[in-house]
Amino acid sequence: MIKSLFNGIFVSLLLISCSKTPPSISVVCEENGVGNAIVKWETTPSIPGNVKIYASTDPNNIREIQPVAVAPISDGRLTIITDNPTKRYYYRIVFDDKYRVNTATRNVNISGVQNFRDLGGYRSVDEKKNVRWGKIYRSAEIDTLTPSARREIKNMGIKTIVDLRGTTERNVTKSVTETVDVVSIPIPLEELTQVLQGLQYGVLMGDTVNRTIERLNRELVRDWASSYAQLFELLKNEDNYPLVITCSSGKGRVGIASALVLYSLGVPDDVVMKDYLLTNVYYNIPRGSSYGYNLPAKSQEGITAVFMAKENFLNAAKNEIRHKYGNISNYLEEGIGFTKDDQKRLQKFLLQ
């Protein structure tokens, strides 16, 4: 099923061109259910001529030799047929042989894995650069994989999986660890299991769940700063990339971790929030909460809230950081020991 192309942000900003006043160009690139890429674009003002799209499995080496697709710019969209769905492709889109945009699909459809998506392509305001595609990913749990899923992980060149789940949640098999270094940084959230049990037995209601998750997110940044410090220590080593950060649903612990990474790269607040909310697009919430269909409506709402990403959930963590440290930059430096020099080094190899 092709997801809505305009859910969340899928914008790759314009690369430098020879024009003094280049047009504004936005590109949406989304993978459908069979591995093909759906590309949409808008230009302001309109541009005559054709769009040429070049593809590569290496995001740092997209050669403009033979386009994989060509269409009039006025069409506004096209589909790129993928010859090997187990490979991840990156695209350079050339408008009228003048203006160039690098992009890739935000989501990566891997069998048996939900909410797997690339943190690349987001704009860094201070550096006026984009986060590199194909370097750092976020995902729900990665456990037993099908052979095709293992091939896709291998073809993407994934070197490191950082698993933030507690010990009792983990079920990583050798099928993952044969080719990938799995690093466990446990941040247990047993209380969420108790919350789900309370909902199942009608003890808790949805508004209680919302307040509980807000409190847990405040505790994550306050009480588990040392665990996030371990994550950022891994991020400092370029040899660990490409890297995936995972937890059970890829929303709570990973959501905060991803937000901190994007903040460290200078990505603006509204974009960080939009990335956080994309869990509502790429995590199958109905499947995760299906066992609650026979429960009262209030319990169903509460179970759904456990799996959803809401603005107030991330805001709770941010407010806790600001209350104790003043701002997120201070938290990175004082709370988890990620210095200004560390941030500059990270930006050096994750921004382009």
Q: pLDDT tens for residues 98-138?
A: 999 999 999 998 988 999 999 999 999 876 799 999 999 99
Is 2 a member of any domain?
no
**What confidence score (pLDDT) does residue 71 get?**
97
Give me the chain's average pLDDT, please.
Answer: 86
Both structure tokens of 51: 């769009």
pLDDT at 173 over 70: no
pLDDT band at 289 (very low <50, low <70, confident <90, very high): low
CA distance 71 to 30: 18
Both structure tokens of 62: 């997209």
Domain that holds residue 43: 24-105
Stretch among 4-8, 262-266, 308-312, 332-336 having the lowest mean pLDDT: 4-8
Is 76 a member of any domain?
yes
Residues 101 and 135 in one domain: no
Residues 288 and 332 in one domain: yes
Is 272 a member of any domain?
yes
Residues 194 and 100 in one domain: no
Across residues 300-306, what is the average pLDDT? 73
- Is the separation of the CB atoms in 52 and 75 below 8 Å? no
Could you give the residue ranges of the DSSP H alpha helices within 139-252? Answer: 147-155, 174-177, 190-200, 206-223, 225-235
Residues 307 and 170 in one domain: yes
Please count the residues of the chain: 352
Is 298 a member of any domain?
yes
| Domain termination residue (choose one: 38, 73, 105) | 105
Residues 95 and 190 in one domain: no
Is 165 a member of any domain?
yes
Over pLDDT 70: what percentage of the chain? 82
pLDDT band at 163 (very low <50, low <70, confident <90, very high): very high
The three-state secondary structure class of 248 is coil
Residues 305 and 188 in one domain: yes
In DSSP terms, which residues pair with 81 in a beta bridge? none
**What confidence score (pLDDT) does residue 199 get?**
61
Backbone CA torsion sign across 57, 60, 61, 64: positive
CA distance 267 to 174: 36
Q: What are phi and psi of 313, to 5 degrees?
A: -70, -50
- Is the separation of the CB atoms in 143 and 127 below 8 Å? no
Domain count, the chain: 2
Question: Which is higher by pLDDT, 176 or 260?
Answer: 260
Both structure tokens of 320: 């806790």
Both structure tokens of 179: 């080719």
Residues 177 and 33 in one domain: no
**What confidence score (pLDDT) does residue 8 get?**
37
Residues 136 and 271 in one domain: yes
Is 121 a member of any domain?
no
Stretch among 5-14, 79-88, 133-142, 216-225 having the lowest mean pLDDT: 5-14
Helix (H) or strand (E) segment spanning residue 259: helix 253-264
Radius of gyration of the chain (CA): 21
pLDDT at 269 over 80: yes
Residues 135 and 258 in one domain: yes
pLDDT at 200 over 70: no
Residues 139 and 84 in one domain: no
Residues 98 and 142 in one domain: no
**pLDDT of 62-76, one tens digit each?**
999 999 999 999 999
| Domain termination residue (choose one: 105, 139, 172) | 105
pLDDT band at 254 (very low <50, low <70, confident <90, very high): very high
Is 32 a member of any domain?
yes
Please report, for the domain that includes residue 193, its CATH number: 3.90.190.10
Is 216 a member of any domain?
yes
**What confidence score (pLDDT) does residue 196 get?**
62
pTM given for the model: 0.88
Residues 312 and 213 in one domain: yes
pLDDT band at 84 (very low <50, low <70, confident <90, very high): confident
